[in-house]
Structure 1
């Protein structure tokens, strides 16, 4: 058996980087006032980086007195220091670096062909730098689409827009979008926004792209219309004209007849009957609720996957399907109706809107609320609860212009959900923990106990609310 001593090797190579006097290359990085020289060993850089293997070849290299001289102005000293620690010692600690440096590291690792480093940094940005990414979203978006390999980050950025597209599509940053990003965005099926807003924003984008046109189209000539038509020719077929009302069409689309391809315009005039006009955009995540808007579903998916509330959605989140199996206003708000439709279903998400408040409560039961497969099994040790490590309950409360979102994960996994199989008297519709979140006909009980984290939005150890609406969904990962 071969023994491996990587830790010692890493430590020794780290010493070579910091203390060795036998270097044979000087790399100058940065520009203007932020310049630094690094003394390195070409053999190590060539072995670890395909980029330096080519850059330090005899055909490209510049030498003076036997020393390789190389200039890399587009990488900052702070970022290159991280790169060298990775190359020499295979070490990487990003905890003390700002998001801007980490994004620059992503660009540098791509240029230097350091695939392992690139993949790690991309995942770190998505999973650990969520707040910074959202605060600097346009910079991240533009950077990600300049890097061919950053498909995961590109997908997360587009998905983030699709969650709530209107603020971005109506912003100044939208007008500065590159063509490639604009095409990807307009080609999405899950843009939850009025199509007329997309149309108006696209017109503004085209005018801004041309740079020289007056926003007042009454002052345009034929050359202006032709220029705008050519600029938007690849995007106009992506507009779902069938989602635009006739009033909006006559007011906001028809004035731009000159820029719309003839075959599309003819079909619009025929009341949107033919196939060139794309069908309505349909959000990839199926979710029909009277209680919760669709834009909050990615948050619930984050919780199901044990990610942070504010984590950027993954592209495969769209494979989730939420089947509405029970709705109180339709089926009756009582224990029997709930149990008739939800027993033997799994996993289940429940949502409850409370009467006379802005509160919404909810819970996720991976095993559902009813199990009877142990019936008649002599080895079964009786328990009235279903065990789960993934169950959670939550509350949403709208306060002025903010939304207070609170998650409480299960603590006592053996008491995650009461098993309705043992509720012989039909006392509950559902019961998380020991009345941590519990339906008793048209009443919702919320109790602070040790079975779940005590994070929900209520002011006392015990509260009860009247249920205005309640829904249950079977959660399907397709």
Structure 2
């Protein structure tokens, strides 16, 4: 009975908002990147009851001659796409919409975990800085403890806030040897002091003092008594001036006489699951002139819909079937060689921009018939390159794969079209797609209309490859 009342109340409030009856506030929102103002007419009493932010703002504003309060909110996006949900979360927190903040965090963790992983360093930094982002912060910490390289090998590691680094060092189950953790912490501290000499032999006492100040908050969370004897000699001794005299003395005592009592606090060793942690496997042969082993691991994670991406031991073999420079660039080449072959990845290197685009087809290609196959297992993507900070994954939302050999065309919905000769025809393009909602190219290269695409959205390819995805034995 209560549920029915709540449902009807929600419906009534929606109708009240849409009708505009008795609206006493007009909220003007400026788009961040577009010269456009969106106006929303709302009821102050409802917003004030749901958000302390709006209550405070409305109390500060007086009514105009039409008995309307006007609130201006600059630099807020009102577009609802997967890649701006995180921005919406940040805005919701600023507006003190606590229930929405919790809901959006759960949505990102449960339904958009791949995006969180692809933007991991930014997400973790923000989640640490915003107290209310506990759900995402816990999600990030869980990944970091299991896969430390996710953050320690990130290009943004040196800019990680001190508090965020300390929160990682506090984790008892961080799966990394203490000597390696120490090296990362030293590296982070040096990045805060760009004037330090490169050669440690040339360091002065002042140099060590500067580094010690930078690491003051981190040093108490290093498990110095968990270092191997070899690491004590090779990694602690060169930086002994960073440690307090008593601590360094106790490390030496434990090194020489392990059973002797000392006064320094001994933190428990980390709970390493394996005595020897696996390292990233870069020895797996990958016959590609376009993608790297790291790219292949990322694609394999998408195929398996892994919340935590593979970082070693790829479960799949990428068997090269077609290469443009070897077999030809006509679309029919793909149909002829890949006829009746399922589970394939198409990789394209775009001429002129260096973008790496592609798509995964779980179905068989067919060289002798046109067919349209709906699927929720296909996806399209653009991969991280020197000019592109993060990869983009666009998963199927009731999407399809189109196999049209008679028209020299294959496509993934309307998100990625390959037509004719991929090198000379310059007819390939990407379009905004409801089937694959996340655009894999920037807006300037997205075609608004396939029947008359803009010249800038059309592209040819420098090289392309097609791989059969095989389960590795």
- In 1, the alpha carbon distance for the partners of 2:87 and 2:196 equals 35
CA contact (8 A) 1:144 1:153 kept: yes
- Secondary structure of the corresponding residue to residue 129 of structure 2: coil
Change (3 A) 1:229 1:133: same
The equivalent position to 1:281 in structure 2, one of 262, 270, 274, is 270
CA offsets 1:154-177 (integer angstroms, 9 cap, x no match):
111011011121353133322111
- In 1, the alpha carbon distance for the partners of 2:208 and 2:216 equals 12
Partner of 1:202: 185
Partner of 2:437: none
Partner of 1:267: 250
Partner of 1:244: 227
Deviation at 1:178, TM superposition (A): 0.9
CA contact (8 A) 2:179 2:227 kept: yes
Partner of 1:227: 210
CA contact (8 A) 1:207 1:215 kept: no
CA offsets 1:316-335 (integer angstroms, 9 cap, x no match):
xxxxxxxxxxxxxxxxxxxx
- In 1, the alpha carbon distance for the partners of 2:22 and 2:210 equals 61
Deviation at 1:131, TM superposition (A): 1.0
Q: How many residues align?
A: 289
- In the alignment, is residue 18 of structure 1 matched against residue 18 of structure 2? yes
- In the alignment, is residue 52 of structure 1 matched against residue 49 of structure 2? no
The equivalences for 1:25-44 within 5 A come to 25-30=25-30, 33-34=33-34, 35-36=36-37, 37-44=39-46
The equivalences for 1:224-373 within 5 A come to 224-272=207-255, 273=258, 274=262, 275-283=264-272, 310-311=306-307
- In the alignment, is residue 124 of structure 1 matched against residue 107 of structure 2? yes
The equivalences for 1:146-225 within 5 A come to 146-225=129-208
CA contact (8 A) 2:26 2:40 kept: yes
Change (3 A) 1:111 1:270: same
Deviation at 1:201, TM superposition (A): 1.0
CA contact (8 A) 1:237 1:277 kept: no
Deviation at 1:125, TM superposition (A): 1.1
CA contact (8 A) 2:127 2:133 kept: yes
CA contact (8 A) 1:23 1:39 kept: yes
CA offsets 1:420-478 (integer angstroms, 9 cap, x no match):
xxxxxxxxxxxxxxxxxxxxxxxxxxxxxxxxxxxx9699xxxxxxxxxxxxxxxxxxx
Change (3 A) 1:458 1:271: closer
Partner of 1:305: none
Change (3 A) 1:14 1:252: same
CA offsets 1:346-366 (integer angstroms, 9 cap, x no match):
xxxxxxxxxxxxx9xxxxxxx
- In 1, the alpha carbon distance for the partners of 2:85 and 2:32 equals 21
Deviation at 1:135, TM superposition (A): 0.8
Partner of 2:370: none
Of 64-73 and 157-166, the range deviating more from structure 2:
64-73
Task: Return the TM-score normalized by structure 2.
Answer: 0.53
Task: Return the TM-score normalized by structure 1.
Answer: 0.53
Partner of 1:69: 70
Unaligned 5+ runs, structure 2: 281-303, 320-469
- In 1, the alpha carbon distance for the partners of 2:274 and 2:203 equals 45
Please provide the CA RMSD for this pair: 3.6
Partner of 1:78: 79
- Secondary structure of the corresponding residue to residue 191 of structure 1: coil
Change (3 A) 1:288 1:250: closer
- In 1, the alpha carbon distance for the partners of 2:102 and 2:207 equals 45
Structure of larger gyration radius: 1
